[in-house]
């Protein structure tokens, strides 16, 4: 019998101040209140964002296809639209007046892949600085699959982990939309709130596969990393503005033609000329 477990982790509830000097990752640092962190891509420069030594001989990057990227994007937008239109009944979630459509970012995927390749799956660990020149704060959701069988269904795993993040809606009370705050260690809703954070407009995800040996048994793992720009979960700020769906779109955006509750133009994932590579920096 195949044994499998799923674990998720989210960046939640912090305020970060950052500065940008040039559009090179080693010059993009993240200044927290008492500590400055260098960028993940810069920290992993010597390894060229490849596998960390702990990843083992079975390591491989799960190179996402455009169809897989599209599925990630569509699932997120479908769930955002469900909340924005007031059709999420769990927790009696109110409709959103200003929730953006997400588009897909290859750069956010590249940074996510660089971190996924450290094989920090058990326990899940966030990187400290994943920002871009455009987004001073980039959010992150993490997921982990642990299986006794080597063949792991990647598409199914990504969907399951995404739904685990979203299903935190079941404990999210409707009035919590108005202000983000630390609700204690037993209330885990940060994956959900990042997924539906109104101002977030881009997502990029990555997957790595590796194995480990425990008590003379080999276990097989998938680490799933999604980065969100601009990131959410800011203390003191609302998750979104409550109101008639897409009635208060910001930044000059119009209501979406494809999602009745969202703001902005939805875009299909297509091949791009721009490729992000550690050797470019």
Structural domain boundaries enclosing 252: 4-280
pTM: 0.90
Could you tell me what percent of the chain has a pLDDT over 70?
88
Q: What is the CATH number of the domain that holds 143?
A: 3.40.33.10
135-182 pLDDT tens trace: 999 999 999 999 999 999 999 999 999 999 999 999 999 999 999 999
Q: At 31, which helix (H) or strand (E)?
A: strand 28-31
> What is the average pLDDT score of the chain?
91
**Mean pLDDT within 33-60:** 92
Position 19 pLDDT exceeds 50? no
pLDDT at 24: 77
- DSSP E strand stretches across 55-182: 60-62, 103-104, 139-147
Residue 92 to residue 67: CA distance in whole angstroms: 33
170-214 pLDDT tens trace: 999 999 999 999 999 999 999 999 999 999 999 999 999 999 998
Q: How many of the other CB atoms lie within 10 Å of CB of 249? A: 19
pLDDT at 12: 44
pLDDT at 47: 80
Tally of structural domains, the chain: 1
**Mean pLDDT within 60-76:** 98
């Amino acid at each position: 019998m195949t044994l499998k477990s799923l674990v998720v982790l989210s960046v939640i509830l912090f305020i970060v101040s950052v500065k940008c000097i040039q559009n090179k990752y080693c010059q993009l640092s993240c200044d927290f209140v008492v500590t400055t962190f260098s960028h993940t891509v810069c920290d992993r420069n010597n390894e060229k964002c490849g596998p960390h030594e702990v990843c083992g001989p079975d390591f491989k990057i799960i190179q996402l296809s455009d169809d897989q990227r599209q599925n990630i994007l569509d699932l997120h937008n479908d769930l955002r639209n469900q909340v924005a239109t007031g059709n999420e009944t769990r927790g009696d979630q109110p409709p959103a007046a200003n929730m953006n459509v997400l588009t897909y970012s290859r750069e956010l995927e590249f940074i996510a892949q660089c971190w996924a390749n450290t094989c920090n799956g058990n326990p899940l660990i966030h990187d400290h600085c994943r920002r871009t020149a455009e987004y001073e704060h980039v959010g992150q959701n993490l997921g982990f699959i642990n299986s006794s069988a080597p063949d792991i269904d990647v598409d199914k795993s990504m969907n399951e982990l995404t739904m685990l993040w979203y299903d935190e809606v079941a404990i999210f009370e409707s009035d919590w939309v108005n202000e983000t705050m630390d609700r204690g260690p037993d209330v885990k809703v940060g994956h959900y709130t990042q997924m539906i954070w109104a101002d977030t407009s881009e997502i990029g995800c990555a997957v790595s596969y590796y194995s480990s040996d425990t008590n003379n048994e080999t276990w097989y793992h998938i680490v799933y990393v999604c980065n969100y720009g601009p990131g959410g979960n800011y203390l003191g700020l609302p998750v979104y503005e409550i109101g008639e769906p897409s009635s208060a779109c910001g930044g000059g955006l119009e209501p979406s033609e494809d999602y009745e509750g969202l703001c902005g133009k939805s875009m299909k994932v297509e091949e791009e000329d721009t490729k992000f590579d550690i050797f470019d920096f």
